[in-house]
Chain A
């Protein structure tokens, strides 16, 4: 499968995972890979974090779309702004201001579980309907929250028996449960607890939300270091180089550290594969800060991984 085929499988891709596993990095890398393959991409950030903008070398995102590069745009999507827009579009401009000013918005949002989430997802659906881009990438809230986030339309159907909010929830469910329109890409670190939580999240999303899961992204796997069983000292001697013993020890310790971490990461990826029968895309551990340059490297790694997926 190539990146173009991968992108055309559904217009909406939701990137989800536990906090700190690199969702934002994966979102930036996938967006870059897709734009590089000729697709127009819109990134939607729903948690008000700044990481995405800095990974792509851009100014902080706003509710207004920004162009970040060729075929690449990004924006945020917050419940309050989505609600105001929704009410205004439904001819309720006056009430929307009063809702906010009086604080009744808090009361209403509390009265209806998942109200805030449904507003955000409703707007995602509107973007999808409008074909805002070939690929609409959602940087979702942290896992656990992601399950809640995606379950909200179902919860809402129980609470609200009529009216436009219910109609909105029904539309969102239709979007989430149609694999030709929407997929969820789960991200994890190759560590024990994140893997366990990813498996739980995956089954919850499939069983309770009915959403199609794309490949799992295993992030931050230390790249291979091929030094076999040789020591730095032995190789230096063979080359006729004089190596200070302390530095030789440091070279060996650092090599061992990397190999140990890689072995642990691969073992966790394998355990994940046994517990969750989904294809995996692997991204390398990046030494240092992730900026635009690193994102390009990760996009290439993702594209290579996608290339190896069976269609």
Chain B
């Protein structure tokens, strides 16, 4: 097992996926840092990082563009002289606005769309928009940024892989049968609509209010002519995700629910013909060295505890405690034993349960040592 060293050294793009609370953003930052310390020009795209990690990456108050983190803050003891590390916090809305500007025929069309209430909701609230825009940002950085490696975080939800079908979802929305006729090049759209459609719209209007419906109509009319650009771009994002130089890293904790989610994500990636380059398991419980199996430890606890002195109670409590942690570690090991092969990950790396949050460069580099340099399961706390 070589850890994630090859991935960080060879790939152009790394996409970090996983459910919430498993250390996804931290892992993304660790991988970018490891690449930079090996001399690559790396950028990490984060989504909603914890405040202290954002401070470390210098992201506070910064908008939607990547900025370089001074080498003095992270390059101490690095193996290469020329690495560069940048970071960016995704602004979903600004990214979407950028797309509209890019594909609008003129300023007036862009303004009509950007000012539309329905568009504002799509840009902020459409399920999958954040995921989609993370991929859009990735595409933009890949085309225009000139980086060696882009590491991109995905949003912390069960829907974190919605970017896989977000472009289609948007396209489907734009193709919607009921609303497409609203985009027909006539100002008298209501007249060409059938009575049935009119009745339908009147009822929808009753439920959500007429002005909302007007917004929708105005949006579809304003958007006319832009779908082709959006579609072409979505296809190029797909191509980038499928490229052999793009690697997906699945991140999980050792807990069963998180491992189940990781398998769910792996299945979705497989459905999209995307493989898992590596599985990172965070918060693995340590083993405490040489000892007998759990049953023997429990037996010892009972035998000693029966003797009824303070020293006996303390020793029994220690045996029970060791048995508790050993059974936890055993359970994790069993759960993880075949998960790598089950999800088809070439590499599985383990990070032990750490006493402190990983929020500064020193801690990030320590995790990088575990992930990238050897990737063996740690045997001590």
Contacts and interface: CB of A to CB of B under 8 A. Distances in A.
A92 interface: yes
A160 B208 contact: yes
Interface in A3-55: 18-21, 47-49, 51
A113 to B, nearest CB: 5
A166 interface: yes
Contacts of A264: 355
B209 A20 contact: no
Interface string B352-379: 0001110100000000000000000000
B288 A253 contact: yes
B22 A241 contact: no
A258 interface: yes
Contact of B176 (A49, A106, A115, A246): A106
Q: Quick one: which of B20, B169, B210 has the most chain A CB within 10 A?
A: B20
Q: Is the interface of B mostly helix, strand, loop or mixed?
A: helix
Interface string A92-113: 1001001100111011101111
A274 interface: no
Contacts of B315: 232, 235-236, 239, 241, 251
A193 B322 CA distance: 28
A159 B328 contact: no
B65 interface: no
Given A102-B177, A236-B315, A253-B381, A110 B122 contact: yes
A163 interface: yes
A113 B215 CA distance: 13
Nearest to B117: A159
B82 interface: no
Interface residues of A, number: 71
Interface in B123-177: 124-126, 156-158, 169, 172-173, 176-177
Interface string B72-93: 0000000000000000000000
A87 B117 CA distance: 24
A298 to B, nearest CB: 16
Given A19-B157, A246-B290, A247-B290, A51 B257 contact: yes
Contacts of A228: 314
Given A112-B208, A193-B357, A258-B325, A246 B291 contact: yes
Nearest to B20: A19
B118 A255 contact: no
B186 interface: no
B15 to A, nearest CB: 19
Interface in B296-332: 304, 307, 309, 311-312, 314-315, 317-319, 321-322, 324-328, 331
Given A102-B176, A239-B304, A288 B21 contact: no
Contact of A92 (B203, B215, B311): B203
A130 interface: no
B121 interface: yes
A63 interface: no
Contacts of A106: 169, 172-173, 176
Nearest to B320: A225
Interface of A: 18-21, 47-49, 51, 87, 92, 95, 98-99, 102-104, 106-108, 110-115, 142, 144-145, 159-166, 191-194, 196-197, 225-228, 230, 232, 235-236, 238-239, 241, 244, 246-247, 249-255, 257-258, 260-261, 264, 287-289
Given A192-B52, A239-B307, 6 more contacts: A19-B156, A107-B216, A110-B118, A160-B208, A197-B50, A253-B381
